[in-house]
Amino acid sequence: MEQNKILNKIIEQKLLSGEIKLNDVLQSLNPDDFPFIFSKLKLQEFPKDYLTESGEDVYHSKKFCVSKFDSVNRTPFQIGLITADGTIYNATEFEHLRTCTFLKLNGIDLRGCLRYRISNSEVLLYPGYGSIERIEEETSLENFCNSWEHFYDNFDYNNNLIELTANQVKTIRTLVLKQSANNDDVIYGFLLSLVKQKDLFGLLKPSHTYPENLQKIAKYNKLTFQDYFGLTQEDFENIKYHTIKK
């Protein structure tokens, strides 16, 4: 029993450090012998092909690569994660926390990732684990999960902005446009929906009004949104008045 506990701890540390990947462990070890890693988090329920693209019918894959996402005709996953390279990972069946844990333990880079949820045709965006640099040491999977939840329960929107990549903005745009055939109305509706959300990207105020350490991020995000959404500075200025002009 003691030997099994030691082995559990060794594997846990190697998973967290990235020395080994969860899928490799699942294939070679009995999940019943690792109660927290597998049973409690139920990570063994993820399909074996989750990280594999499924040929031409990419919708049935558990992820969308940004290069293929525009060509998919069906509606996107209702809940997911968007990594910095623009890839969407399906979290609909597995929830954000378990999905994020599963991806981290399989070596997926979560730095700068976003969570999203589609509700009433609105694309709602939230910070994802790894959105900003963390200093907490993850000594166990339980610690990892607890710190993840604590981070989002106490996220300081006044002193943090998420710096987006161009690929993430492209993916966000595709998510938005897939909600309706009337692209203009949907884009402006998305901008209006940002008013109801937290100021996550620095889009809702002039860049110079943010704290000095956030001004560069706010300016970059705004310019990137302008490029991919075909917006003007006036559009952003009108967001706060709920009177975006067409």
User: How confident is the model at residue 164, as a pLDDT?
Assistant: 93
User: How confident is the model at residue 58, as a pLDDT?
Assistant: 44
Sign of CA dihedral 131, 133, 135, 141: positive
Annotate 102-135 with DSSP letters as a single string.
HHHTTT---TT-EEEEEETTEEEEEE-TTSS---
* Cα–Cα distance measured from residue 94 to residue 96, given in angstroms and rounded to the nearest whole number: 7
User: How confident is the model at residue 60, as a pLDDT?
Assistant: 44
User: How confident is the model at residue 1, as a pLDDT?
Assistant: 55
pLDDT digits (tens, 9 = 90+) for 70-124: 555 556 678 889 999 888 888 877 788 888 888 988 988 888 899 998 887 788 8
Interacting residues of 59 by C-beta distance below 8 A, sequence separation 6+: 72, 74
* Cα–Cα distance measured from residue 86 to residue 110, given in angstroms and rounded to the nearest whole number: 11
Q: Residue 243: which pLDDT band, with cuts at 50, 70 and 90?
A: very low
User: How confident is the model at residue 55, as a pLDDT?
Assistant: 45
Q: Residue 216: which pLDDT band, with cuts at 50, 70 and 90?
A: very high
Tell which wins on pLDDT, 127 or 236: 127
User: How confident is the model at residue 62, as a pLDDT?
Assistant: 58
pLDDT digits (tens, 9 = 90+) for 150-178: 877 788 888 889 999 999 998 898 888 87
Tell which wins on pLDDT, 38 or 190: 190
Report whether 117 contacts 124 (CB < 8 A). Answer: yes
Output the average pLDDT for the chain.
78
Inform me whether the pLDDT recorded for 217 exceeds 90: yes
* Encoded tokens for 245: 């002009």
* Cα–Cα distance measured from residue 40 to residue 20, given in angstroms and rounded to the nearest whole number: 20
Inform me whether the pLDDT recorded for 212 exceeds 60: yes
pLDDT digits (tens, 9 = 90+) for 10-27: 888 888 888 889 888 878
User: How confident is the model at residue 218, as a pLDDT?
Assistant: 92
